[in-house]
Amino acid sequence: MIYRLLSLTTFAMVAALLSSCGNSGLNILSKSAIHSGSGIYAKRESFTLPPVSSSAVAAAVGKPRDKHSMPVYAFCDRHRIVRTTAYTSSESDHLIYGDKNATGTVLRYNDRVRSAAADWSFYPVGTTFRIAGLPYLYVVDDYGSALLGTGTVDIYKPTKEIMDLWGTRNVEVTVVQWGSFTRSAELLSKCQGYDHCKKMLANIVRQRPDLASVAKL
């Protein structure tokens, strides 16, 4: 995935994230609530989703936009319209990582919990959410350079066929629980040799200056 340099627009989006209600309650879901599973559930995959509700569309009016013209929300906005893409571990840019995510654990895809990737300064690691019309709980445990500076969420799929079937979709999302900026900073501080990781980390510290020592900037 190809990254882009952060622009003034991105800084404005960081300000939007910080606005109005802060970022309290940033906790990772307990491990006991998350279980790994196999790809057998892919056989039952269904992508018939309801249209985005008029209330969600109305709530997005007037919000700043990212480079995909999608609304950028404050952390108190748990109900949101999100651009989603899909990826799989057999893609050329993921082969080096195999079936592991950015936290070093196995990518999840079962009938309860599934992995997702995002810019961790928008959705810190451990953020859990649901997509309207689907029964699964998605957990942000990965990131990608192409996601930098956007609210796009990349949904993990076990095969290229299922990845292509998903494509790119604007969906209605409810954030169940915010992840941890502290944990995000700890993990990103170990990979600052990658430009997108360094920039995500810098954006986190802008929102949480108290994490500067953790980030080792």
Picking from 4-8, 27-31, 54-58, which range would have the lowest pLDDT averaged per residue? 4-8
Model confidence at 1, pLDDT cuts 50, 70, 90, reads very low
Query: Residue 104 — left, alpha, or beta (φ > 0 → left; ψ -120 to 50 → alpha)?
Result: left
Whole-number percent of the chain with pLDDT over 70: 74
CB 108 within 8 A of CB 120: no
Question: Is residue 35 scored above 80 in pLDDT?
Answer: no
Q: What is the mean pLDDT of residues 140-168?
A: 94
**Mapping DSSP to helix (H, G, I), strand (E, B) and coil, where does residue 130 land?**
strand
For 89-138, write each residue's pLDDT tens digit: 875 555 456 689 999 999 999 989 999 999 999 999 999 999 999 999 99
Cα(135)–Cα(121) distance, rounded to whole angstroms? 26
**H-helix or E-strand spanning residue 113:** strand 113-117
Task: Provide the H-helix boundaries in the chain.
Answer: 8-18, 54-60, 160-166, 181-188, 195-207, 212-215
pLDDT of residue 3: 39
The token duo for 191 is 């990979």
Q: Catalogue all structural domains in the chain, each as residue range(s) with its CATH number.
A: 8-24+37-215 (2.40.40.10)
For 155-180, write each residue's pLDDT tens digit: 999 999 999 999 999 999 999 999 99
**Residues 6 or more apart whose Cβ sits within 8 Å of residue 159:** 39, 42, 88, 90
Q: Please indicate whether residue 45 or residue 207 has the higher confidence score (pLDDT).
A: 207
Angle between helices 195-207 and 8-18 (to 10 degrees): 40
